[in-house]
Amino acid sequence: MDRPLTVLPTALEAQVKARPLPRHVGIIMDGNGRWAELRGQPRLEGHREGSVSVREVTRAARRLGVQALTLYAFSSQNWARPPEEVAGLMELLREYLESERAEILDNGIRLNAIGEVDKLPRYVREPLERLRADSAHNTGMVLTLALSYGGREELLRAARDLAQAAARGELDPAHLDADDLESRLWTAGLPPVDLIVRTSGEQRISNFLLWQLAYAELCFTDALWPDFRTEEFLRCLSQYQGRERRFGLTSAQVNRDDTPQRAKA
């Protein structure tokens, strides 16, 4: 990805914190398996090292004042991976929920989860639901884990909900609008997604937040997820801050004082 001038991480953090931040950052955490394979290790070791990046990036986002951070932890399609890898990932998820519980609660973070969470094994669902409930009244950053998540699956579920509501006479199909659909998405209530980051050099979205990224900035970095730590995260935020967000308008319109707030966000 394009890099700003080299600066010390502490100076870069101060620089980023002084400029408008994205309200909601989504991250496609890619490259764990490749990181391990490059080192001759089992793929699960890459996922384990990737959990360190989760901790570090979450801390950085909270410290900077990002309102919401959504991490693509396990996709709907990941269930098709080798059973031993899926089992290992579920165990790592359980370990994460238990090891990070105190930090999440002590720092006022609200834990959220999106996706077909009911498909997760009970030994993952139970600590997940406990931590969601115990952190529900926290007012700091919202940390959302996308688990058994797929953007197409989310949209299909929302469409079914709308169709059922229309069939019951609760909605007039002729007057449906974007708000009606957004209220039925798993991300309902979260701030608009301003920035999507994908690690590992791949440049695709992979079924992540398909509706929500309509006006999001995209940042692709070559760093594999286990190597994506605070400095790389800061560089992505700095890149975002250097872009002009027009939302379909012209530069002149965006820079006018009477421009709608959405165009200035």
Residue 237 placed within a domain:
yes
Q: What pLDDT score does 9 carry?
A: 77
Q: What pLDDT score does 258 carry?
A: 54
Number of domains in the chain: 1
Q: What pLDDT score does 257 carry?
A: 58
- Tell me the CATH number at 90: 3.40.1180.10
**CB atoms near residue 229 (< 10 Å):** 17
* Positive/negative CA dihedral, 54, 115, 143, 28: positive
Spatial distance between the Cα atoms of 82 and 135, rounded to a whole number of angstroms: 33
Residue 139 placed within a domain:
yes
Residue 203 placed within a domain:
yes
Percent over 90 (pLDDT), the chain: 88
Provide the pLDDT confidence category of residue 117 given band limits of 50, 70 and 90.
very high
pLDDT at 1 over 50: no
Residue 235 placed within a domain:
yes
Q: What pLDDT score does 251 carry?
A: 67
Strand partners, 142: 68, 110
Tell me the pLDDT of the chain averaged across its residues. Answer: 93
pLDDT in tens, 35-79: 999 999 999 999 999 999 999 999 999 999 999 999 999 999 999
DSSP secondary structure string for all residues of the chain: --------HHHHHHHHHTSPPPSEEEEE---HHHHHHHTT--HHHHHHHHHHHHHHHHHHHHHHT-SEEEEEEEEGGGGGS-HHHHHHHHHHHHHHHHHSHHHHHHTTPEEEEES-GGGS-HHHHHHHHHHHHHTTT--S-EEEEEEEE-HHHHHHHHHHHHHHHHHTTSS-GGG--HHHHHTTSTTTTSPPP-EEEE-TT----TTSSTTGGGG-EEEE-SS-GGG--HHHHHHHHHHHHTS---TTS-HHHHTSTTS-HHHH-
Residue 5 placed within a domain:
no
Residue 175 placed within a domain:
no
Residue of 2, 78, 134, 258 marked catalytic: 78
pLDDT at 95 over 50: yes
Spatial distance between the Cα atoms of 245 and 240, rounded to a whole number of angstroms: 9
In this structure, what token pair is assigned to residue 83? 């059973």
**Of 141, 138, 132, residue with least CA distance to 111:** 132
pTM: predicted TM-score of the whole model, two decimal places: 0.91
The answer to whether 96 touches 165, Cβ cutoff 8 Å, is no
CA dihedral 18, 19, 20, 25 (to 10 degrees): -90
In this structure, what token pair is assigned to residue 239? 């890149």
Residue 65 placed within a domain:
yes
Q: What pLDDT score does 222 carry?
A: 98
pLDDT at 4 over 50: no
255 is catalytic: no
pLDDT at 254 over 60: yes
Binding site listing for substrate: 31-35, 43, 47, 79, 81, 198, 204-206
List Cβ neighbours of 239 (8 Å cut-off, separation of 6 or more).
1, 2, 4, 219
Residue 158 placed within a domain:
no
**Structural domain of residue 105, as residue ranges?**
20-149+192-242
112 is catalytic: no
Provide the pLDDT confidence category of residue 10 given band limits of 50, 70 and 90.
confident
Spatial distance between the Cα atoms of 114 and 187, rounded to a whole number of angstroms: 7
Q: What pLDDT score does 245 carry?
A: 77
Binding site listing for Mg(2+): 30, 217
pLDDT at 265 over 80: no
pLDDT at 167 over 80: yes
Binding site listing: 30-35, 43, 47, 79, 81, 198, 204-206, 217
Structural Rg of the chain based on CA atoms: 19
pLDDT in tens, 215-227: 999 999 999 999 9
The pLDDT of 192-221, averaged and rounded, is 98
